[in-house]
Every structure is written in structure tokens, then in C-alpha cells.
Amino acid sequence: MAAIKLAEGIYSVGVFNPNLRLFDIVMPTEYGTSYNAYLVKGEKTALIETVHLDFFDQYLANIKEVTPLEEIDYLIMNHNEPDHSGSVAKLMELIPNLKVVASQAGSLYLKNITNNKSLAVTVVKDGESIDLGGKTLSFINAPFLHWPDSMFTYVPENEALFSCDFLGSHYCETTMLDTSILPRYKAAYDSAMLGYYTAIFGPFKPYVLKGLEKLKDLSLAFVATSHGPVLTKEGFLPEVMEKYRVWSTSAVRETKQIPLFYCSAYGNTAQLAEAIASGIRETLPDAEVACYDLTEQNMGEMGALLNASDAFLVGSPTLNRDAVPPVWMLLAHIDAINIAKRPAALFGSYGWSGEACKNLRARLEGLKVNVYAEDFRVTFVPSEEELANAKAFGAAFAATLA
Ligand SMILES: Cc1cc2nc3c(=O)[nH]c(=O)nc-3n(C[C@H](O)[C@H](O)[C@H](O)COP(=O)(O)O)c2cc1C
Ligand SMILES: [Fe+2]
Ligand SMILES: [Fe+2]
């Protein structure tokens, strides 16, 4: 890839990684990604972010196409996750007088990421700016978009916003322009953009809305993100901003959603699930109460259902002194950032030692979930009386939600 001129004095100098299939452990990247970086040339010159360390040589070659290294004055780090900060230390070896600019949190992270406690970082606050001569870099705090350190950089002369992860996508478009994406690839871009939003910004919806609010009164010709194509006013920018707004606005729900998730080898825990559900329905007739056998379901969908619930229940038999793997897998999908205080209850059948509920409770309490004081447990096959008790347990739990 070569450097690409985007506007007068603004160049893309980042790199493509079309072969990437997994980002940050958890994000499938069917269409690869790009680590975007930009160069802004006024009388002085600023680089906006670096790239993943694996691609340093290509990044350097791109920069040199536009400007000699010794003419670069500033490095603006809008966000310091290593996909953007990975090459800072190496770049500084080549440009020792480079002035690194970041938010307060960013300066701290960068010192720890480069393992250089004496790294001089110029800290900029919301509303501050740097005059490059003919180009202004204005900084806008954007916490949690994607980390606490995140900020945006706005260049009013070009109506250009550098938003780092915000509004990005894991999608390679070799011209760096959304207007070049062919109509037949639009669906692929849309799905990459949704997957990216969900994984990166799904936990930070209130911050997304605050970020959009900050952009409301800015004139934007284009938003240069740090992954995927640059979003232009004529291209996808209005659509992507609107999608971020819609996806981050919680729907007002008329009814409570109370799913019960369980596994059951011989049907015992399954019987408890149905009995508890009937107790909940009796107390909260308007609630949406449904039982899900985790062995028959898509775990991602179950995780999403749990995360969107008003309250949830988890049932597991005890097998070999623990809850069973699909139940643990469900709990691995919990949105730990937003689950605190959510009401939950546990149940399960066991034979002799019965550790499942206790172990699940430890996990949920560790996530600050509000776990109902009692667990509902029976030994082996539930009797008629135990099923009646299970129903009463469901009713009592539901009464705490009314
Ligand atoms: C492979 C296996 C291992 C088990 N290990 C334990 C155990 O460590 N402790 C215990 O209390 N019960 C244990 N049990 C007994 C089950 O918890 C008991 O049969 C329970 O009723 C199964 O409920 P389910 O039909 O909902 O799966 C084990 C059962 C199986 C099949
Ligand atoms: Fe990030
Ligand atoms: Fe990133």
C-alpha cells in the first residue's frame, strides 16, 4: 500500500491487513482490517497515530512518500491500544524530537505501553488545540470510545475528524474511500461494521451517544477512522452515524424479559426450569418468560438474550463437582461492564455433592450480579412436592422484581 492523498494537506499513511481473521481475541474479521494512520501538513507536520508493530516498515515507507521524517513535529495519539500505539517506541528511535500528544489517561498508558516512564507526552484537554500553521488540530475528549484514553482530533480547515476506533470497521478498502466500495460489496461492509460496533462499542452505548452529541454541531466533510474506509459526507458517514445512534439507544420495553437458561442430562434440571418459570408467570403474567436448553441454542444469541434481560435464571446439574461447560460458556458471554445489579437466581439437580449453584454464584457475584439469596436445588429426580416448591421459588423471586 502507498500513501493516499485525502484532501489538501491530509494523507492516509496507514497499512492494510486483509488476512487478519481474529482481532483482539474475540472479534472475527472476515474482511480483514486496516490500521489507518494519517499525516496532516501545515507549516508544521503532525502524524495521527501509528500502526500495529508488525507493519512498521510499510507505515514508514508510506510516511516517507509524503514527507521526510525529520520534518515531522507531532504525533497525535487519539487512543493507545497497541493496534495504534504499537509502533510509537520504534518511531521515536527514528524521530527523537517528536512531540507526542495524548489525553491525560493516554499519556499514562503510553508510558506503560512503551515501558518508558520518562517518555515526554504533551497532555491535551478537551477543547484545546495545536496550531500547525494553516492547519489546526482541535482535541475533543471521547472517553470509552474505545478506552478511557480516547479522544478525537478535528481539523476545521478541512472539516476533517480523526476519530480513531469510533465509527470504524474491520474492512479493507484499498482506496481508503467509502465512495469506492462497489454496491455489491455494501452488504459485506455493513455486516463488518455491525460486527465491529457490537464487539467494540456494544458495552459503551451511553458513551457512543455522548460522542455523537459532541459531533452534532461540527461541519464534517469526512471522518477518518483508524480502521476501515474513510467515511465521507457524500458516502456512508450520515448512515453510519445514524446506525450508531439507533444501535446505542435502548428500546423502551413494555414487558419484562426473564429468560431461564439451563442444561439437563436426564431432564431433572429441565423440570425445575419449567416449574420455576410457571411460578414467575403466575406472579408476573405480563413478563416474557422462556426456558432455553443451552445445548440446543446458539451461544452468542443466548448471551445477547441474557445481556438484554431484566432478570435471568441459570440452572445446571452438578457433574463432576461443577456446573456443566455450556453453562460456563453462557456466563463467558456476559457483558461484565453492564451486568452489575441485574437480578438473577440459580437452580439445579444434583446427586450427592451439588457444587453447581455455589460455583455459579461465585462467578455471578464476582460480576456484581444481584444473585437471589437462595438457590433452588433438589437431589436427583424432583418429586411433586419439590416441583411445587420450585414453582413457589419462581413466584418468590418474581415478587422481588415487581
Ligand atoms: C458424569 C456425571 C457426573 C456427576 N457428578 C456429580 C457430582 O460430582 N456431584 C453431584 O452432586 N452429582 C453428580 N452427578 C449427579 C447429577 O448431578 C444428577 O444425576 C442430576 O440429577 C442430573 O440432573 P440433570 O438430569 O438435570 O442433568 C453426576 C452425574 C453424571 C452423569
Ligand atoms: Fe481500540
Ligand atoms: Fe483500534
With a 6 Å cutoff on the Cβ, whether 353 touches ligand 1 is yes
Domain ranges of the chain: 4-248, 257-399
DSSP string for 32-101: -EEE--EEEESSSEEEE----GGGHHHHHHHHHHHS-GGG--EEE-S--SHHHHTTHHHHHHH-TT-EEE
Tell me which DSSP letter residue 319 carries. Answer: B
Q: Which of 378, 399, 375, 397 lies closest to 387 in space, CA to CA?
A: 378
**How confident is the model at residue 251, as a pLDDT?**
84
Find the ligand nearest to 169 CA.
Answer: 3
Shared fold status for 4-248 and 257-399:
no
349 lines ligand 1 (CB under 6 A): yes
CA of 167 to the centre of ligand 3 (A): 11
Q: Which three cell numbers stand for residue 276?
A: 420455576
Does the C-beta of 271 come closer than 6 Å to ligand 1? no
Which ligand is nearest the CA of 322, by number? Answer: 1
Which amino acid type is present at position 160? A
Which pLDDT score, from 0 to 100, does residue 83 have?
97
SS3 310: coil
pLDDT of residue 207: 98
CA-nearest residue, atom 22 of ligand 1: 317
Q: Is 352 in the pocket of ligand 1 (CB under 6 A)?
A: yes
pLDDT at residue 401, as a whole number: 97
* Whole-angstrom distance, CA of residue 58 vs CA of residue 14: 8
Looking at residue 250, what is its pLDDT? 87
Residue 250: CB atoms within 10 A of its CB come to 9
Q: Which helix (H) or strand (E) holds 121?
A: strand 121-123
Among 271, 272, 316, 320, say which to mutate for ligand 1: greatest number of ligand atoms within 8 Å of CB: 320
CATH 3.40.50.300 fits 257-399, yes or no: no
pLDDT tens track for 184-231: 999 999 999 999 999 999 999 999 999 999 999 999 999 999 999 999
Q: How far apart are CA 75 and CA 85, in angstroms?
A: 10
CB of 358 within 6 A of ligand 1: the answer is no
Q: Is-contact 289 280, C-beta < 8 A?
A: yes
Dist CA 113 CA 76 (whole Å): 16
> Which among 401, 307, 308, 316 is positioned nearest to 356, based on CA atoms?
316
DSSP string for 246-270? HHHSPPP-SS-EEEEEE--SSSHHH
Q: Is the CB of 316 under 6 A from ligand 1?
A: no
Q: How much is the pLDDT for 344?
A: 98
Low-confidence stretches of the chain (pLDDT beneath 70): 1
d(CA 375, CA 315): 10
Task: Could you please state the CATH topology (level 3) that the domain comprising 4-248 is classified under.
Answer: Metallo-beta-lactamase; Chain A (3.60.15)
Q: With contact defined as beta carbons under 8 Å apart, do 50 and 87 qualify? A: yes
Classify 28 as helix, strand or coil: strand
